[in-house]
Chain A
């Protein structure tokens, strides 16, 4: 049973470009979470999604950032017009139904570097 799959593992973008980060949850998991981690810091919640629904996006910046989890395919975290401050590791996690009180399983993350 494959775990949470994130791609790409590393992504380099120039300022002003778009970054798309993908996350395929574990089989049978319908809840996806995105977190941002700066070096030497903790996991900052960004957004929580179920299939075709955004449940909580309170941790996501109001501009340039968006997330989706379509009926088919992976969850996508999209960052438009990237800036240097967007450089970070972005982790995706998934859990089965009943999120909040279920273990979250993390992917290996995407390390985003902005030139």
Chain B
């Protein structure tokens, strides 16, 4: 069945450093790749997404890259801040009623 693997499960960085989270997906029909941020006790919130017709997308300190051949996509956060500390989920979805599959999450700690 469909599967999304996410690494690392935990990531600790110093404030100001960059953080990279990587995901791989199994179903080649996937063409939509969102990333969600979930703070403790709160709802997951969409922070950025990318579609398969582009290889990279950037929004201020956040960027996502996609390699469809390798079925691999990554989240890059630059100049990390303590408020970036949260759990980040990647996901893969497709068209025509295909459900979205979430990765297991990465717990990011940004140390001040």
Contacts and interface: CB of A to CB of B under 8 A. Distances in A.
Interface in B31-46: 31-32, 34, 36, 42-46
B89 A100 contact: no
Given A41-B104, A101-B94, A104-B46, A33 B89 contact: no
Contacts of B43: 91, 106-109
A79 to B, nearest CB: 20
B42 A108 contact: yes
Contacts of B100: 33, 45, 100, 104
Interface residues of A, number: 25
Contacts of A12: none
Contacts of B104: 41-42
A42 B34 CA distance: 15
A52 interface: no
Interface of B: 31-32, 34, 36, 42-46, 49, 51, 89, 93-105
Interface of A: 33, 35, 41-45, 48, 55-56, 58, 91, 93, 98-109
